[in-house]
Amino acid sequence: MSTPAVPTVKLANGASIPRLGLGTWPMSDDQAEVAVAQAVEAGYRLVDTAYAYGNEDGVGRGLRASGVPREELFVTTKLNGEWHGYQAAQEAFQASAGRLGLDYVDLYLIHWPLPSRDRFVDAWKGLVKLLEDGRVRAIGLSNFKPAHIDRVLAETGVVPDVNQIELNPTVTRNATRAYNTEHGIVTQSWSPIGRGGALLAEPVITDLGERYGKTPAQIVLRWHMELGLITVPKSADPDRMRANLDIFDFALTADEVGAISGLDQGEAAATDSDVFGH
Ligand SMILES: NC(=O)c1ccc[n+]([C@@H]2O[C@H](COP(=O)([O-])OP(=O)(O)OC[C@H]3O[C@@H](n4cnc5c(N)ncnc54)[C@H](OP(=O)(O)O)[C@@H]3O)[C@@H](O)[C@H]2O)c1
């Protein structure tokens, strides 16, 4: 199977990110080492990890084992809640970069806003410093709602490159997506195929799979592309990794995209980041 190259999108602070990459939760270090090397071999250039996944070491080993030059790779990791602070965020970044074995990271995200602690603006200032110092190519947020981003913008004026949020046809996140777009923030979907569960058996998805000769996961990933999203499906299986990347040779019509979006269960079905986070 020959897989077309993954297109990239330009981010607010100047970097370019592949529109599709590999998620690595919940892989162990050893699983991530193997999967990341296999994914890069299959054509992936973006890998998504986090301090909280406990696999930054393994991701770094897999990237080195791939033999692909560093500048062709795009690595995302995330700041955990105990380091929400200006200095603390920079120190946590240094530790993550060390585990990854990288002298810079492409994208650093605040993993969750944790609004009850009210420290995310200070953390954001730490990420802005890392960007200014050239330690990261892009900075962003994860699981931030419009009200949280309003504060980031009002108090720093620095536009986040990315907001990575839970998003798939059952949780379409219309309000947050529209807000991100309006502010020049690229929306990145997590759990893009609904963790491989019931979503992939929905008739609207399986019927389109038959129409296009594609798997249900490929139909759902193409839906993300049609909506202008970027995403990081996780797979530890080389065949599924390759298939998940093989979505750039067909397109869904606007009606088909609308029919898939009809699976939306509303904002209440999404993880509530005013309540949950780490
Ligand atoms: N920012 C955040 O708070 C946050 C939260 C959750 C996740 N994430 C990131 O987003 C990534 C993706 O989200 P996710 O892992 O929750 O869910 P996902 O990517 O929607 O689904 C992954 C699951 O689907 C299976 N799968 C993969 N490809 C498949 C295919 N073609 N057909 C059928 N099943 C398939 C995988 O199993 P196999 O491995 O066996 O293929 C795995 O069990 C994570 O890995 C992580 O990097 C971020």
SS (H, E, C) 124-160: HHHHHHHHHCCCEEEEEEECCCHHHHHHHHHHHCCCC
Q: What is the pTM of this model?
A: 0.98
Give me the pLDDT at residue 5, please: 84
pLDDT digits (tens, 9 = 90+) for 135-145: 999 999 999 99
Which residue out of 53, 86, 108, 179 is catalytically annotated? 53
Give me the pLDDT at residue 1, please: 47
Positions in the chain whose pLDDT score sits under 70: 1-4
Q: In what order do the strands lie in the sheet with 136-142?
A: 22-23, 46-48, 74-79, 105-110, 136-142, 162-166, 186-190, 230-231
| 51 has catalytic annotation | no
Q: Does ligand 1 lie within 6 Å of residue 217's CB atom?
A: yes
Q: Which residues of 206-231 are buried (b: 16+ CB within 10 A; e: fewer)?
A: eebbeebebbbbbbbbbbbbebebbb
Average pLDDT over the chain reads: 97
Minimum-distance ligand 1 atom for the alpha carbon of 241: 28
For a ligand 1 pocket test, name from 22, 24, 25 the mutation site with the most ligand atoms within 8 angstroms of its C-beta.
25
∠ CA 16-20-24, rounded to 5°: 110
Cα(59) to ligand 1 centroid in Å equals 16
pLDDT digits (tens, 9 = 90+) for 43-63: 999 999 999 999 999 999 999
CA distances from 9 to 61, 138, 222, 245 (A): 27, 12, 16, 16
